[in-house]
Amino acid sequence: MNLLRDEERRLIKGLHRYIGATEKLGELVAEDVVSLLEKAEVEQEVLEDEFAENPLSSFHTLYRIYHDWNEVFRHVWCDDCDKTPASQDFNITFGIAERKLGGWITQEDLRVAAINIVKLYEMYDLDVRDVFDGYIQDHVVIPLPAEELYFITATADKQDRMRSAVVWFEELYKRVSENMYPDSTLKLITVARVLAGVYNKIGMPRKSIELFDQINNEGLDMRQLKRDVEYYTLRLNGLPLDERTKDLDLYKKTKPSKFTQLCRQSLKSTKAESKLKCFLRASDRPFYFIKEELFNKNPRISVFHDVITEDDLRQLSHCTSARRLVYRGEVSEETAINNKKFGFYDVEQSVVKKLRNRMRKILQIPQQEEIDIKRGNQRVATWNYVIKGAKSGGYKVFMSSKTSVPLVSGSVIVWYNQNSDGRQDGRLSPGDCHTIIGSQRVVEDYLEEDGTVSTMKCFNFFKNSP
């Protein structure tokens, strides 16, 4: 999203050159092009570095750039347009921006961004009125225009997220009918017809007919409206008598899954929470203590703070940036990313191995010989280096232990995959919640047994740990 913002600035400069060169030749520039340029400049002035962290502002930027710049390009470079040096210069600028982005924004990008907003609404039980007003929990942005809200709601309908589609369309219909979007081109009858179709899809054609009865007929196509009413009347008559007046209880909130509940809040009892604490833990280095925060006692799930230095975070961030190395554990060959070659071995040796040795000392796990991971040995312990944590949401959850762990930048989340007697502990299968505000970046590492680890008594140390 930040790259998209920067590339739009390139397009704005290119369009200024096009307008200046065209007017210098005494030719007129389409009013739509000038107005869209002014709109883009105003939007750019309010975009801050954190704008992409909010899903509403990100979607608004995607939607605006997709529609506005495609419209500009249609005016400047089309089959019937004169190919002038000015238009050729803008076409080259557009091509540069497209290559930098790895392809121009498509409607599929908008669809994915829209459905992610709906997923956040469902998972975190957000109030639809707050979302329409630009509020997501304690964060607020400029409210989305009616056309963008309509796109999100229609996407929920196409994805068969019917409860969300009904609630969102009803709120949109209410606001459009109250003329809360005076500058919008979205018509009330457009929203009403789609909402009626949603009612019909869920087996409530009666509500579709009632909806059309409420609409003021002035200025509407009565023939189309009459055909719609006739269709929904036929649908209603085709239902069994006991279902014609029945309302499906879509508004009643069903009990969320355990995973969803953990993403919203901890499910531990007050008594269980009282036994958890944060303390200084001794390491194998003299007079060196590590801050450990305990989130679950059995099985043990901890977060270690102040383990990763700022220099470590910079190196990890560089390795997982936009030009990151994508690899599988068993692959050590060079991989080409953005025309640059990276070797997994070099990256692993310089960053991850250093941190792995540090974690061994902190957890008091003895040094092992290098392990051939193709042998399929079982894991002893797993940890996540949190390079960047989200501002809201994005917890790592362990359902079997009712544990939610927030991802704090610079921390290390640790859990053991074996019991103290060396047997594999199948209770720990973590899941990742959607982030609400912001993004997060995590690197996972783990240790595997080498055939002798499970017989070592040193692995009993956490039985008596604080």
Distance of alpha carbon 78 from alpha carbon 29, whole angstroms? 14
pLDDT digits (tens, 9 = 90+) for 172-230: 999 999 999 999 999 999 999 999 999 999 888 989 998 988 886 656 667 788 888 89
Give the β-pairing of 392-393 and 435-437: antiparallel
Residues 277 and 370 in one domain: yes
Distance CA 172, CA 149 (A): 8
Question: Does any domain span residue 216?
Answer: yes
Domain-located, residue 152 = yes
Measured CA to CA, the distance from residue 386 to residue 404 in angstroms comes to 15
The residue ranking higher by pLDDT, 254 or 374, is 254
**Domain membership of residue 34 as a residue range:** 2-105
Residues 194 and 293 both lie in one domain:
no
Burial class (CB in 10 A: 0-12, 13-18, 19+), 393: buried
Summarize pLDDT for 345-389 with one digit per residue, the tens.
Answer: 444 456 778 888 888 888 877 665 444 444 456 777 888 999 888
Residues 148, 205 within the same domain: yes
- Count the domains in the chain: 3
Q: Are residues 356 and 239 part of one domain?
A: no
**CATH number of domain containing 310:** 2.60.120.620
- Residue 419 contacts residue 317 (beta carbons within 8 Å): no
* Position 340 pLDDT exceeds 70: no
Nearest to 6 by CA among 39, 38, 37, 49: 49
Q: Do 83 and 187 belong together in one domain?
A: no
Q: 314 and 395 share a domain?
A: yes
Measured from the Cβ of residue 91, the count of other Cβ atoms closer than 10 Å reads 15
Judge if 388 and 268 occupy the same domain.
yes
Whether residue 377 is contained in a domain is answered as yes
Sequence-distant (≥ 6) Cβ neighbours of residue 166 within 8 angstroms: 195, 198, 199, 202, 250
Cα gap 336→305, rounded to integer Å: 35
Angle at alpha carbon of residue 269, lines to 268 and 272, rounded to 5°:
85
In a domain, 113, yes or no: no
| Domain shared by 268 and 367, yes or no | yes
Which residues 6+ apart lie within 8 Å of 432 measured at CB?
394, 395, 396, 397
Same domain, residue pair 300 and 429: yes
In-domain check, residue 124: no
282 and 422 housed in the same domain: yes
Residue with the bigger pLDDT between 344 and 158: it is: 158
DSSP letters spanning 232-292: HHHHHHTS-HHHHTPPP--SSPPPPPHHHHHHHS----HHHHHT--EEEEE-SSTT-EEEE
Same domain, 401 and 372: yes
| 77 and 203 assigned to the same domain | no
Q: Give pLDDT tens digits for 257-270.
A: 899 999 998 888 88
Q: Are 153 and 192 in contact (CB under 8 A)?
A: no
End residue of a domain, out of 214, 244, 274: 244
What is the per-residue pLDDT for 315? 80
Query: Checking DSSP bridges between strand 139-140 and strand 135-136, what pairing results, if any?
Result: antiparallel
**Kind of pairing between the strands at 379-388 and 441-448:** antiparallel
How confident is residue 422, by pLDDT bands cut at 50, 70 and 90?
low
> Per the structure block, which two tokens stand in for 164?
């969300």
- Is residue 375 situated within a structural domain? yes
Q: How much is the pLDDT for 193?
A: 92
407 falls within a domain: yes
Which of 210, 244, 278 marks a domain boundary?
244
Of 366, 351, 387, the residue nearest 455 (C-alpha): 366
Residue 51: inside a domain: yes
